[in-house]
């Protein structure tokens, strides 16, 4: 029904407007008596072999929702009914910010891809923390993806990440430091070795002062060279990271089916979806092999089917995350992947 009725209607709307419409309707529908049970019956596939234990957390299945979909943690209870093993909220910044001017989210249907330059639009750490504190479903594992405000200079970025960490530490299960979005000016400069070590050490120092430290991960870009990936592995060891998220969106526009002029007219932004699949898998495989499998990786990028998820897991990912594939394939994708993992013994 999603592909034949819902998707065509949504794809006739501006992409960001469609996103908000889905949010509003899912929230309204979930309030109806019996609706959450119905959604679970349709989409929440469970099997003992799907369970994973990672970072000291017990995931009911390895399929999560990537950051960027529920930036402000407004739908965590509703998303829990769709069968996700975990949901990553954010990216959250210390202070609220509107993000970049609209339009800022675009579809490339021929490539089953998205281009976004959202710019960390969110309600701010305090509002998101308050919302998470009120959520009903406490079993769903929540990741907190954190970033810096646009107007914070890079030399003061660590303070923003620490502020987000402190605001969310009691309401999320793990953290992801996002320095790899292409949509905040100069943010990717923080992926360089020295500033990144300094930033992560400050966040980790705050983390280790807690009686129960949270798993701390780093989300990286797919556009890094092998030598930069080697640096990431050294940084992960030096700052005692729990793992990596590979990968964020790409600034590359290579090998697209969509007309190059049409793509260029959309302007800057990160590309996600099917065109990212192969490169994201390459990055996962490289990191897994170079770390000898000792650094857990959450795989993201171009997962539109169970086959795609199996590819990421075979490359070395311990868990996977959906975003663009979820939009193109619909909510049944989660159960399809989980069923595929069970049938392949993955």
Q: How would DSSP label each residue in 203-227? A: HHHHHHTSSSPPPEEEEE-TT--HH
Q: If we measure between CA atoms, which residue out of 206, 202, 128, 205 comes closest to residue 172?
A: 128
Active-site amino acid positions: 181
Cβ atoms < 10 Å from Cβ of 169? 17
């Amino acid at each position: 029904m999603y592909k034949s009725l819902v998707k065509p209607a949504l794809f006739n709307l501006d992409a960001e407007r469609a996103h908000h419409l889905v949010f509003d309707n899912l929230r309204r529908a979930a309030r109806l008596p019996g609706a959450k049970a119905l959604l679970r019956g349709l989409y929440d596939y469970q099997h003992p072999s799907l369970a994973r234990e990672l970072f000291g957390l017990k995931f009911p299945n390895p399929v999560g929702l990537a950051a960027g979909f529920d930036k402000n943690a407004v739908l965590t209870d509703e998303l829990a009914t769709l069968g996700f093993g975990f949901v990553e909220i954010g990216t959250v910044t210390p202070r609220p910010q509107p993000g970049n001017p609209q339009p800022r989210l675009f579809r490339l249907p021929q490539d089953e891809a998205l281009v976004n330059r959202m710019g960390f639009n969110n309600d701010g750490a305090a509002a998101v923390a308050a919302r998470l504190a009120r959520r009903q479903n406490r079993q769903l594992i929540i990741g907190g993806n954190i970033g810096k405000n646009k107007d914070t200079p890079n030399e003061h970025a660590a303070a923003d990440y620490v502020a987000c960490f402190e605001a969310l530490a009691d309401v999320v299960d793990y953290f992801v430091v996002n320095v790899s979005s292409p949509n905040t000016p100069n943010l990717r400069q923080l992926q360089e070795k020295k500033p990144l070590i300094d930033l992560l050490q400050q966040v980790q120092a705050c983390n280790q002062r807690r009686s129960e430290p949270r798993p701390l991960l780093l989300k990286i870009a797919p556009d890094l060279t092998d030598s930069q990936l080697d640096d990431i592995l050294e940084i992960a060891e030096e700052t005692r990271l729990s793992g990596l998220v590979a990968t964020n969106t790409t600034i590359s526009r290579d090998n697209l089916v969509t007309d190059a002029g049409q793509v260029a007219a959309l302007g800057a932004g990160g590309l996600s979806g099917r065109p990212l699949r192969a490169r994201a898998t390459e990055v996962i495989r490289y990191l897994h092999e170079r770390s000898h499998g000792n650094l857990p990786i959450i795989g993201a990028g171009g997962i539109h089917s169970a086959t795609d998820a199996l590819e990421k897991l075979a490359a070395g990912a311990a868990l996977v995350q959906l975003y663009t594939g979820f939009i193109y394939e619909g909510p049944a994708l989660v159960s399809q992947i989980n069923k595929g993992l069970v049938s392949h013994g993955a």
